[in-house]
C-alpha cells in the first residue's frame, strides 16, 4: 500500500500526542496515512509491551489509520546506525510516502531526538539507488519522501508550520486516552506516578494545542519543524 503520509514514532503514543489531529485531518481529506512505531515502549514505568500493543491498536481504530506496525527496536537502546537505518529505509520504500512526520529533533526523552535523526537520515538514504534493500525476497526501489517534518513533543520548539486541528481535537484526546496505562484516567487504577500520568501533563497537551491554534487564529493546532526551507506557489495559500 502506498501511503500519502507515513508517521514514524519511537514509542506507541508519540504520534497521538504530537500529530494525531493532523493525521485525522488528512484522512478526512481522503489521504492514506499510517504509523510505524520503532519500539513497543517496553521500558515505560507503567504498563507492559503487551498492553502498549493493544493500546496502539485501539488508538489506530480511533484515528482511522490505514496501517500501523512496529519495528520492535530496543526501547532506550536503539541507535542511529546502519542496521537501524536500513530497517527504516525498508519501511519508507515499502510505503513510498510523499510526506514523513517524525519525532522532535531534541526533547526531554533522549529517544525522541535520536529517533528524529534516525528518521531523517533514513529518508535521505532511502533515495539512494546504491543503498540496496529487499523486503519479503523482493528488491526494493529507491524512494525519497518529498517532505520530512518533525512534530513537537514535550519541550517547546518554535514551529515552522502549524496545522489547524480544531475539528479533531476531541478525537485527538480520545486517541491519547486509548493508552490507559500511560496517562491520567480517573476510572482506571494505574501504577506508580510518572511524569506523564498526572492530570497536569494531560492539561499541558491541551494547552499546547491552544497555544499553537491561537498563533494561526484558530482554536487548536499542531506544530511541526522542518530542516528544509518550505516554498509555495502562492502567498494566498498561507494563512
The rounded distance, in Å, linking the Cα atoms of 33 and 64 is: 9
User: Residue 90: in which H helix or E strand, if any?
Assistant: helix 82-95
Residue 47 binned pLDDT confidence (cut-offs 50, 70, 90): confident
User: Average pLDDT of the chain?
Assistant: 95
> What pTM did the predictor assign?
0.94
* Set of cell numbers at residue 54: 493493544
Whether 195 has a pLDDT exceeding 80, the answer reads no
The rounded distance, in Å, linking the Cα atoms of 81 and 69 is: 21
3-state helix, strand, coil in the chain (%, to 5): 40, 15, 45
Percentage of the chain with pLDDT > 70?
Answer: 97
Q: What is the mean pLDDT of residues 92-96?
A: 98
Percentage of the chain with pLDDT > 90?
Answer: 87
Whether 186 has a pLDDT exceeding 60, the answer reads no
Backbone angles phi, psi at 110, to 5 degrees: -60, -25
Whether 31 has a pLDDT exceeding 90, the answer reads yes
Residue 180 · residue 55 · CB < 8 Å: yes
Strand partners, 161: 224
Amino acid at each position: 500500500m502506498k501511503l500519502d503520509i507515513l508517521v514514524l514514532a519511537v514509542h506507541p503514543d508519540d504520534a497521538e500526542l504530537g500529530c494525531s489531529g493532523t493525521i485525522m485531518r488528512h484522512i478526512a481529506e481522503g489521504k492514506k496515512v499510517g504509523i510505524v512505531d520503532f519500539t513497543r515502549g517496553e521500558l515505560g514505568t507503567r504498563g507492559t509491551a503487551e498492553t502498549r500493543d493493544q493500546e496502539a491498536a485501539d488508538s489506530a481504530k480511533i484515528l482511522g489509520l490505514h496501517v500501523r506496525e512496529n519495528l520492535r527496536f530496543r526501547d532506550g537502546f536503539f541507535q542511529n546506525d546502519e542496521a537501524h537505518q536500513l530497517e527504516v529505509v525498508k519501511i519508507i520504500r515499502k510505503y513510498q510516502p510523499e510526506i514523513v512526520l517524525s519525532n522532535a529533533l531534541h526533547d526531554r526523552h533522549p529517544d525522541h531526538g535520536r529517533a528524529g535523526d534516525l528518521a531523517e537520515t533514513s529518508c535521505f538514504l532511502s533515495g539512494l539507488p546504491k543503498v540496496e534493500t529487499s523486503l519479503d525476497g523482493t528488491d526494493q526501489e529507491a524512494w525519497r519522501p518529498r517532505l520530512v517534518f518533525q512534530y513537537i513533543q514535550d519541550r517547546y520548539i518554535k514551529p515552522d508550520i502549524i496545522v489547524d486541528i480544531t475539528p479533531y481535537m476531541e478525537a485527538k484526546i480520545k486517541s491519547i486516552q486509548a493508552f490507559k496505562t500511560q496517562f491520567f484516567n480517573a476510572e482506571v487504577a494505574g501504577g506508580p506516578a510518572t511524569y506523564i500520568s498526572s492530570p497536569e501533563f494531560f492539561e499541558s497537551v491541551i494547552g499546547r494545542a491552544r497555544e499553537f491554534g491561537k498563533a494561526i487564529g484558530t482554536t487548536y493546532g499542531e506544530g511541526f519543524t522542518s530542516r528544509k526551507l518550505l516554498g509555495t506557489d502562492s502567498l494566498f495559500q498561507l494563512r
